[in-house]
């Protein structure tokens, strides 16, 4: 190792979040985070939802430290420790001739790290911040330490930080294979298709509540496995068939099958939550109203236009078959869930705002003028629920992790290794 103690070597990466369309819910090993069934997800465009993480190493650092969204957090938790241990054990020699730095494989065991991470969306609000966050931690450390493993092998490390994180190592459509081995070495993520394979899809997320949830996914799924008689049937009989059908639907870009499977699997996941003792309620009245709005529309069209799925929270993730459908969906959603009168429409729809133009919405007056969707015009229930949705995010399937090479994108100061 170079004698001079003043150098800081760092790497910055950006990693997407993902939404499961066949859900992971239940572990067979709590420590290694091994699931009771395979799962499949869609990676969301990091332009709209992502984690950025800078990792740095320096002989001047006296301990491993981490800052999340600007606040220092403890790295003492078992999951962070597992990821750090697994990555360090795979580190190899690193040489930076320009800076005169040489770190050997053995040096990594004694060198300390500084980590700064930022989520461009609410943390711990059911928008899979742990997935993007832990995947980004593992990916950036692997690059800093010159780890030679491929992204599938890295996914087995990210998995030990948070199960769903293993699927964020790839873009597009991703399967987490549950594996059989007790060591977890075959419980890895693989890419089914990249983000270009099915690029007409448009994703609209209704952020129903960005408050931190009552029951974390980790404790929720533990309680389900301990008490739900239904979850075993789901894992053994239902999910294996759905995984095969979902892979086929993705391969053939078969939207009706994709939508049917996504909606059924989300509903069954929430059914096993209800089957848990005491029951777990992640969805609320607004979530149920969104389901009913999509179901009515799909039924009236004779074939699904939109798929919905809900994770461990009330936020709705809706996947529309194309932009035209997404614009029609947005009109329906804005009819039922208009913003409060003092909210600017441009802060009510974030991410890919161009969907507003497609839907013909320029200001609040256009929202007020929206007619009831034809499929509900004869029903007495045309009341709206102003303010029940905090905001919408419009996005699409996106790419996997990337390195950010511009100095300006780093979250740590290159001289001190402290947050900028
Ligand atoms: N960028 C990040 N880097 C490292 N760890 C993170 C990051 N973002 C979130 N986490 C960890 O994940 C935790 C939040 O995970 P949690 O499962 O409660 O919520 P979520 O991932 O937002 O929602 P869900 O998994 O239910 O969709 C945080 O408390 C933190 O420990
Ligand atoms: C409902 C889910 O989002 C559950 C995600 O659970 P986590 O991956 O957050 O749980 P841990 O492995 O305990 O960290 C479904 C899914 O993403 O597949």
Token code pair at residue 9? 């070597």
* Lining residues, ligand 2, CB within 6 Å: 20, 23-25, 33, 39, 130, 162-164, 217-218, 311-312
Nearest CA to ligand 1 atom 25: 128
- How many alpha carbons lie under 13 Å from residue 413 in its C-beta half-sphere? 7
Give the position, in ligand 2's atom list, of the atom nearest the Cα of 41: 18
The reported pTM is: 0.97
Q: What is the pLDDT of residue 74?
A: 98
Q: What is the pLDDT of residue 4?
A: 67
Q: What is the pLDDT of residue 324?
A: 98
Those residues with Cβ within 8 angstroms of residue 183's Cβ, 6 or more apart along the chain or in another chain: 32
H or E stretch covering 309? strand 306-309
Residue segments in the chain with a per-residue pLDDT below the cut of 50 = 2
Bridge pairing between strands 391-395 and 349-351: parallel
| Backbone φ/ψ region at 100: left (φ over 0), alpha (ψ -120 to 50), beta | left
DSSP 61-72: --S-EEEETTEE
Q: What is the pLDDT of residue 121?
A: 84
From 20, 73, 123, the mutation candidate for ligand 1 (largest count of ligand atoms within 8 A of CB) is 123
Q: What is the pLDDT of residues 16-27, one digit of tens each?
A: 999 999 999 999
As beta bridge partners, residue 102 has: 95
Q: What is the pLDDT of residue 98?
A: 86
| Distance between CA atoms of residues 90 and 115, nearest Å | 18
CA 81 to chain centroid: 22
Q: Is 241 helix (H, G, I), strand (E, B) or coil?
A: helix
CATH superfamily of 202-395: GHMP kinase, C-terminal domain (3.30.70.890)
| Distance between CA atoms of residues 112 and 12, nearest Å | 17
H or E stretch covering 267? helix 255-274
Nearest CA to ligand 2 atom 9: 217
Q: What are phi and psi of 399, to 5 degrees?
A: -85, 170
> 238: CA distance to ligand 1 center in Å?
28
* Mean of all residue pLDDT scores within the chain: 95
> 25: CA distance to ligand 2 center in Å?
7
- Sheet order of strands, 189-193 included: 18-22, 39-43, 173-176, 189-193
In 157-201, the DSSP E strands lie at: 173-176, 189-193
Q: Where are the domains of the chain?
A: 9-195+405-409, 202-395
Q: What is the pLDDT of residue 212?
A: 62
> 339: CA distance to ligand 2 center in Å?
30
Rounded to whole angstroms, the maximal C-alpha distance in the chain is 79
| Distance between CA atoms of residues 131 and 18, nearest Å | 7
| Residue with tokens 């096993």, as numbered in its chain | 272
Are 44 and 393 contacting, i.e. CB atoms less than 8 angstroms apart? Answer: no
| Distance between CA atoms of residues 151 and 189, nearest Å | 8
| Distance between CA atoms of residues 288 and 206, nearest Å | 12
Nearest CA to ligand 2 atom 12: 163
| Distance between CA atoms of residues 413 and 193, nearest Å | 37
Return the sign of the alpha-carbon dihedral for residues 231, 233, 236, 238: negative
Burial category of 302 from C-beta neighbours within 10 Å (exposed 0-12, middle 13-18, buried 19 and up): exposed
Query: In the CATH hierarchy, which top-level class contains the domain 9-195+405-409?
Result: alpha beta
> 71: CA distance to ligand 1 center in Å?
14
Q: What is the pLDDT of residues 136-193, one digit of tens each?
A: 999 999 999 999 999 999 999 999 999 999 999 999 999 999 999 999 999 999 999 9
Closest ligand (CA of 222): 2
Angle of CA points 16, 411, 83, to nearest 5°: 55
Give the position, in ligand 2's atom list, of the atom nearest the Cα of 79: 14
Nearest CA to ligand 1 atom 30: 130
Closest ligand (CA of 221): 2
- Sheet order of strands, 112-119 included: 71-73, 65-68, 112-119, 50-58, 9-16, 402-404
> 129: CA distance to ligand 1 center in Å?
4
| Distance between CA atoms of residues 330 and 358, nearest Å | 9
Nearest CA to ligand 2 atom 14: 162
Number of residues in the chain = 420
């Amino acid at each position: 190792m170079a004698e001079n103690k003043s150098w800081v070597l760092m790497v910055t990466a950006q990693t997407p979040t993902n939404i499961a369309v066949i859900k992971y819910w239940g572990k067979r090993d709590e420590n290694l985070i091994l699931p009771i069934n395979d799962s499949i997800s869609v990676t969301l465009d990091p332009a709209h939802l992502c984690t950025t993480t800078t990792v740095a190493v320096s002989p001047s650092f006296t301990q491993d430290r981490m800052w999340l969204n600007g606040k220092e957090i403890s790295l003492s938790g078992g999951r962070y420790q597992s990821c750090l241990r697994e990555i360090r054990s795979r580190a190899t020699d690193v040489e930076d001739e320009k800076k005169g730095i040489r770190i050997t494989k053995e040096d990594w065991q004694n060198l300390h790290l500084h980590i700064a991470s930022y989520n461009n969306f609410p943390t711990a609000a059911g928008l899979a911040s742990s997935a993007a966050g832990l995947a980004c931690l593992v990916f950036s450390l692997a690059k800093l330490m010159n780890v030679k493993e491929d992204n599938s092998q890295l996914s087995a490390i990210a998995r030990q930080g948070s199960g769903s994180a293993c699927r964020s190592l790839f873009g597009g459509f991703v399967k987490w294979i549950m594996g059989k081995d007790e060591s977890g070495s075959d419980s890895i993520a693989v890419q089914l298709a990249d983000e270009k394979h099915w690029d007409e899809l448009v994703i609209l997320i209704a952020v129903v509540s960005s408050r931190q949830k009552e029951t974390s996914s980790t404790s929720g799924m533990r309680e389900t496995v301990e008490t739900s008689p239904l979850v075993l049937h789901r894992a053994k009989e239902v999910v294996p068939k759905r995984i095969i059908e979902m892979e086929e639907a993705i391969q053939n870009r078969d939207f009706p099958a994709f939508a049917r499977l996504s909606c059924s699997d989300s509903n069954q996941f929430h059914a096993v939550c209800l089957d848990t003792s005491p029951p777990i309620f992640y969805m609320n009245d607004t979530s149920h109203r969104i389901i009913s709005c999509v179901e009515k529309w799909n039924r009236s069209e004779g074939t699904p236009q939109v798929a919905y799925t809900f994770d461990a929270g009330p936020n709705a993730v809706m996947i529309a078959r194309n932009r035209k459908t997404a614009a029609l969906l947005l009109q329906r959603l804005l009819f039922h869930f208009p913003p409060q009168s003092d909210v600017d429409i441009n802060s009510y729809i974030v991410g890919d705002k161009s969907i507003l133009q497609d839907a013909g919405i320029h200001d609040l007056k256009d929202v007020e003028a929206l007619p009831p969707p034809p499929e509900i015009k004869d029903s007495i229930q045309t009341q709206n629920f102003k303010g029940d949705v905090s905001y919408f995010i419009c996005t699409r399937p996106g790419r996997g992790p990337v390195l950010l090479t511009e100095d300006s994108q780093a979250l740590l100061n290159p001289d001190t290794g402290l947050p900028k």
